[in-house]
Amino acid sequence: MIAIVLLVSLHPREESPEGLPGQSDMARQLRNGGKLGLAIVCGLIVGAIAAAVHLATVPLERSVALHVVIGDLVAALTTIAVCLAIQLRQEEVHYRTAIERAAIVAELNHHIRNAVFPLCLIVQKVGDGEAVKAANEAMDRINLALRDATADALSGRVDYVDQDRNAA
């Protein structure tokens, strides 16, 4: 049973949220259908091992065999339920982390835009062509950096929560 729990907890899953461009349909199908399939396989393994142990150790009497088979089925179904519960808990943690990352990036975006907006207004008010061009290029670089930071935060490549804790 412990090996099955480890198998479920080590089961690879996609880090990117569903619906992102570039995520293949096959990966999405494995992610959605693979969870139930993995749980069923784990249940079948536990049931088969229990049945093999009982066949080797329990005498083959009809009344005893029926109880043993029912016990093995209960063990298999319990394993399926435990595997699904572990996978559900992993998803909950994954989505909570993604929400935290998205909130941090949104807050960062808000602060940067609030800091830069007055500067852009001043540059446009002055009317110097070179200054306006430089301000627009700087805004494009900021937009690109925010877009990259958002993609990194949501994909899990960069963990802003740990960086904030280490900086404090």
- Express as a percent the part of the chain with pLDDT over 90: 15
Q: How far is CA 123 from the centre of its chain?
A: 43
> Exposure pattern of 7-20 as b/e (b: 16+ CB <10 Å)?
ebeebeeeebeeee
What confidence tens digit (pLDDT) does each residue in 81-105 have? 999 999 999 989 988 888 888 888 8
Specify the range with the lowest mean pLDDT, choosing from 10-14, 90-94, 161-165: 10-14
Residue 88: enclosing H or E segment and its boundaries?
helix 62-126
Q: Comparing C-alpha atoms, which of 87, 101, 95, 89 is closest to residue 12?
A: 87
Q: What is the pTM of this model?
A: 0.54
Per-residue pLDDT tens over the stretch 26-70: 555 556 678 888 889 999 999 999 989 988 887 778 878 888 888
